[in-house]
């Protein structure tokens, strides 16, 4: 079983995306930004590892959290990831942003009361919460998306709209502290939006709708 390093190099990002954007070191984090990545069994490998690699290579400190510590496997490959901390072992104050990758894991995560409470409480602080693909399902269960502009995998569009979401079929949508994207082809926009929002909290009009190559 393949096991990737916790902080993969940017080569992994480029391997999955097939694009090689110019990286500006002027955008590197001045102070270490602490980011939690919420996963469980059945996570999507690229949607977890690519933002982690992108942000770690810009100086962020990444912690993988989940319902309990241990190794979990992606649903779409034999890649694994180590959950370093359970949600009941961390505090919202430990982190500056929260990322929820997609895959089958969000359907499991939303069944865990402690995870849903953590996601809800984190969102309500106003700190950045970023979810891609099926990731918004956790936030739907948390009840924080009513009236928000957002996107996600097309298969959960109806569910999101029933939760009060103004759904947009775009690569990345930002509404206040919420960042959402649809699928793996959007990962560059998703990762760049997290970086820019954590640093300077720009408006949605300041985030490119297509990758900058």
What is the SS3 assignment for 58?
coil
Rg, the chain, Cα only: 15
Check if 134 is active-site: yes
Distances from the Cα of 57 to the Cαs of 3, 86, 96, 97, in angstroms? 19, 24, 17, 16
For helices 10-17 and 45-56, the axis angle rounded to 10 degrees is 140
Distances from the Cα of 17 to the Cαs of 13, 131, 145, in angstroms? 6, 18, 29
- What is the rounded CA–CA span in Å between residue 35 and residue 52? 9
Please say whether the dihedral angle defined by the alpha carbons of residues 73, 79, 82 and 86, taken in this order, is positive or negative.
negative
- What is the rounded CA–CA span in Å between residue 70 and residue 192? 29
| Burial class, 147, CB count within 10 angstroms (exposed 0-12 / middle 13-18 / buried 19+) | exposed
Q: Which of 25, 44, 58, 134 is catalytic?
A: 134
Q: Give me the half-sphere count of Cα atoms (radius 13 Å) on the Cβ side of residue 57.
A: 18
Structure tokens that stand for 165 in this block: 């979401």
Structure tokens that stand for 84 in this block: 């370093």
What is the SS3 assignment for 165?
coil
Residues identified as active-site: 134
């Amino acid at each position: 079983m393949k096991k990737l390093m916790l902080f993969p190099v940017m080569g992994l990002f480029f391997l999955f995306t097939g694009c090689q954007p110019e990286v500006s070191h002027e955008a590197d984090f001045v102070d270490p930004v602490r980011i939690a990545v919420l996963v469980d069994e059945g996570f999507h490998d690229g949607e977890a590892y690519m933002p982690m690699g992108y942000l770690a290579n810009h100086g962020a400190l990444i912690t993988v959290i989940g319902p309990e510590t241990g190794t979990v496997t992606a649903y779409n490959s034999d890649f694994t990831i180590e959950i370093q901390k359970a949600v009941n072992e961390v505090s919202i104050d430990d982190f500056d942003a929260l990322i929820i990758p997609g895959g089958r894991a969000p359907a499991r995560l939303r069944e865990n009361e402690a995870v849903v409470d953590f996601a809800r409480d984190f969102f309500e602080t106003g700190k950045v919460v970023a979810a891609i693909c099926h990731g918004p399902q956790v936030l739907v269960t948390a009840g924080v998306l009513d009236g928000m502009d957002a996107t996600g995998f097309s298969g959960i569009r109806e569910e999101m709209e029933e939760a009060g979401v103004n759904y947009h079929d775009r690569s990345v949508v930002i509404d206040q502290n919420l960042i959402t994207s649809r699928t793996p082809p959007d990962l560059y926009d998703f990762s760049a939006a997290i970086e820019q929002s954590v640093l300077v909290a720009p408006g949605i009009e300041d985030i490119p709708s297509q990758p900058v190559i």
